[in-house]
């Protein structure tokens, strides 16, 4: 059987509840209440900001076209001088090869950043080359496959692999590295 609470405990609970209700009524509907709620009824009209509707019909100040700095805030001032554009001096075009007989120079080939680590083969004769980049990434592929979206494996040997750089169409032989 549960013993009912004593009178002093009930009186203390009612007192705490009344104090909480009084606090909520006084502070709960203050300035922190959302706009347009019941708390706005007690405010006077002088507390609210006034919007001047007469300025809607007024003409706006216009900046001269092409004379304003786009990154400067506000209207252009009279002290700002317009930037003067320097006109480039015309240079005569000289054609050193009028007939176009000279072939264009090849683009420089970027350094080769792969090493041949070895190859793996199975009983059916499939060979897979194992290459390592300068970032220590392992690349694997068979003859004819594209690896790293840049190199095509042409031939896989015992001590070297032939790869073709797709951008320059050059075939290079990479020897087996022991380390």
146-157 pLDDT tens trace = 998 888 999 998
pLDDT at residue number 141: 92
Which whole number is the average pLDDT over 28-48? 55
Write the CB contacts of 66 (distance below 8 Å, at least 6 apart in sequence). 82
Interval 78-102: pLDDT, tens: 665 555 666 666 666 655 666 666 6
> For the CA atoms of the chain, what is the radius of gyration?
42
Which helix H or strand E contains 170, and what residues bound it? Answer: strand 170-175
170's tokens: 């050059």
Task: Give the global pTM.
Answer: 0.38
Q: Which residue has the tokens 């700095």?
A: 69
Question: The sheet that has 170-175: what strands, in order across it?
Answer: 146-147, 151-156, 160-165, 170-175
3-state secondary structure of 22: helix
Look at 55 and 140; give whichever has higher pLDDT: 140
> What backbone phi and psi angles, to 5 degrees, belong to 141?
-175, 155
Interval 9-28: pLDDT, tens: 888 888 889 998 888 888 76
pLDDT at residue number 160: 92
Helices (runs of H) and strands (runs of E) counted in the chain? 1, 7
> What backbone phi and psi angles, to 5 degrees, belong to 160?
-160, 165
> What backbone phi and psi angles, to 5 degrees, belong to 121?
-135, 160
Asked if pLDDT for residue 67 goes beyond 90, the answer is: no
Mean of per-residue pLDDT scores for the chain: 76
């Amino acid at each position: 059987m549960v013993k009912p609470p004593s009178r002093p405990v009930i009186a203390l609970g009612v007192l705490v509840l009344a104090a909480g209700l009084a606090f909520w009524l006084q502070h709960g509907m203050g300035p922190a209440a959302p706009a347009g709620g019941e708390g706005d009824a007690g405010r006077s009209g002088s507390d609210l900001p006034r919007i001047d509707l007469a300025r809607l019909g007024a003409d706006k100040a216009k900046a001269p076209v092409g004379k304003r700095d786009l990154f400067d805030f506000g209207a252009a001032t009279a002290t700002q001088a317009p930037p003067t554009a320097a006109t480039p001096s015309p240079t005569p075009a000289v054609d050193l090869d009028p007939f176009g007989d000279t072939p264009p120079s090849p683009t420089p080939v970027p350094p080769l950043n792969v090493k041949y680590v070895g190859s793996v083969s199975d009983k059916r004769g499939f060979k897979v080359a194992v290459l390592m980049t300068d970032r220590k990434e392992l690349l694997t592929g068979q003859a004819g496959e594209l690896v790293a979206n840049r190199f095509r494996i042409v031939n896989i040997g015992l001590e070297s692999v032939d790869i073709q750089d797709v951008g320059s169409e050059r075939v290079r032989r990479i020897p087996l590295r022991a380390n």
